[in-house]
Amino acid sequence: MNMQGAVKVWDPLVRIFHWSVVVAFFLAYFVEAKDETLAIHVWAGYTVLGLVVFRIIWGFVGTEHARFSDFVYPPKRVFAYAFEVLRGTAQRYLGHNPSGGAMIFLLLIMLLAINISGIAVYGADQHMGPLAGWFAGTGEGEEMEHMLEELHEVLSNVTMVLVAIHVLGVIVESLVHKENLVRAMFTGRKRALDAPGNPVRR
């Protein structure tokens, strides 16, 4: 892409958040919560939680394209956009398109749910963390711990599937609109003008 015709879209905090949460999530996912690697798993999870909390706040007070108001659309528009992509008639967005915005919002919810369930597992199993007091003396024992572990694992696996769908969506959008969206998330810049007949939506 010719950077002379590019405009700034993603601010540095959005880009740092994006790549940091990728690293922290994959670290937590692939490093099992066993005795010798428990600390790595736990702190990777806490890192994800901190990043998600920041992103939620930034979604209200951040720069234009970082705000939820810029990319959260009604479900009807989200599905309509997905069909437009399949038909090859989807317009280009400088920020997140409706389907991409929905995926970002869903991933934030899932990451938050994973962390809450993970902290609960940590409290029930290790009697540590902010929720440890909730399980002290409850008498729930191994049954509760097993249930929480299953929930944590299911949420993590579902999120990994969503990540794969997100990556596929990025590839499709990059091909449809002929721009490298991965590079844009590094540089923060995207093409300002679009091809005739396929107008950009700001």
Residue-wise pLDDT tens digits, 4-44: 578 999 999 999 999 999 999 999 999 988 888 999 999 99
Domain coordinates in residue numbering, the chain: 3-201
**Would you give the DSSP letter of residue 164?**
H
**Regarding the domain with residue range 3-201, which homologous superfamily does it belong to in the CATH classification?**
Transmembrane di-heme cytochromes, Chain C (1.20.950.20)
Residues 6+ apart with CB under 8 A from 48: 21, 24, 25, 28, 111, 114, 115
CB atoms within 10 A of CB 179: 16
As to burial, measured by CB atoms within 10 angstroms (0-12 exposed, 13-18 middle, 19+ buried), residue 35 is exposed
Q: How far apart are CA 149 and CA 3, in angstroms?
A: 47
Furthest CA-CA distance within the chain = 67
pLDDT for the residue numbered 1: 46
Assess contact for 198 and 13: CB atoms under 8 A.
no
Percentage, residues of the chain above pLDDT 70:
90
pLDDT for the residue numbered 69: 95
**181 vs 142: which has the higher pLDDT:** 181
How does pLDDT run across 74-132, given as a tens digit for each residue?
999 999 999 998 888 889 999 999 999 999 999 999 999 999 999 999 988 888 888 88
pLDDT for the residue numbered 56: 97
